[in-house]
């Protein structure tokens, strides 16, 4: 290697390293994600269950994080076990199928899919439940979680309780 080519290679390395250092972390391979804290998740599921209990509904509320993993779940007094799976699956559906399309609820996803969705794609996906009862939780417009409720005598009632849970923490989602 000649002195000139060595100098050019060193200069190119320094320029590349300098340019990379001035890029945002995401451009360098580090991703910044936002998540709901355990405290806020706990508050939201508690409020959702309490809102339904005030109306005489025995429900389960579940929050799934941005990866679709359950973060918080509360089974109200004598709520049916089926509500556990239903609440999780509604939240998962809202987050995974609704959030990318800016749909705020599992009800909106169900409406878009129609009464008889194509069996080709959704028939084999686990945790998809095309029923109202879940709301995507957003912080500054970014989907960070979803809350689902199961057990009230209708998905619209479940969804109203999920909304109560989100409303309880909404002022802190900044």
What does the pLDDT read at residue 165? Answer: 98
What does the pLDDT read at residue 29? Answer: 86
Distances (CA, A) of 132 to 1, 7, 86, 98, 135: 68, 65, 10, 12, 9
Distances (CA, A) of 100 to 35, 36, 60, 104, 136: 17, 18, 25, 10, 10
In angstroms, how far is CA 139 from the centroid of its own chain? 11
The answer to whether 124 touches 68, Cβ cutoff 8 Å, is no
In angstroms, how far is CA 65 from the centroid of its own chain? 5
Q: What is the pLDDT of residues 67-76, one digit of tens each?
A: 999 999 999 9
What residues form DSSP beta bridges with 73?
A: 62
CA distance 154 to 119: 24
What does the pLDDT read at residue 28? Answer: 77
Name the stretches of the chain with pLDDT < 50. 8, 12, 14-15, 17
């Amino acid at each position: 290697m000649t002195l000139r080519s060595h100098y050019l290679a060193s200069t190119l390395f320094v320029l590349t390293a300098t340019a990379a250092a001035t890029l945002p972390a995401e451009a360098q391979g580090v991703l910044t994600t936002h998540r709901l804290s355990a405290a806020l998740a706990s508050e939201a599921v508690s409020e959702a269950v309490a809102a339904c209990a005030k109306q005489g509904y025995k429900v389960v509320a579940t929050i799934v994080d941005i990866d679709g993993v359950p973060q918080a779940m509360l089974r109200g007094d004598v709520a049916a076990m089926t509500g556990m799976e239903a609440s999780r699956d509604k939240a998962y559906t809202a987050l995974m199928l609704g959030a990318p399309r800016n749909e705020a609820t599992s009800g909106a996803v169900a409406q878009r899919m129609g009464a008889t969705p194509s069996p080709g794609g959704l028939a084999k996906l686990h945790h998809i439940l095309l029923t109202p009862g879940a709301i995507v939780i957003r912080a500054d417009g970014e989907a960070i979680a979803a809350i689902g409720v199961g057990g009230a005598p209708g998905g619209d009632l479940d969804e109203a309780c999920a909304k109560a849970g989100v409303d309880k923490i909404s002022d802190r989602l900044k």
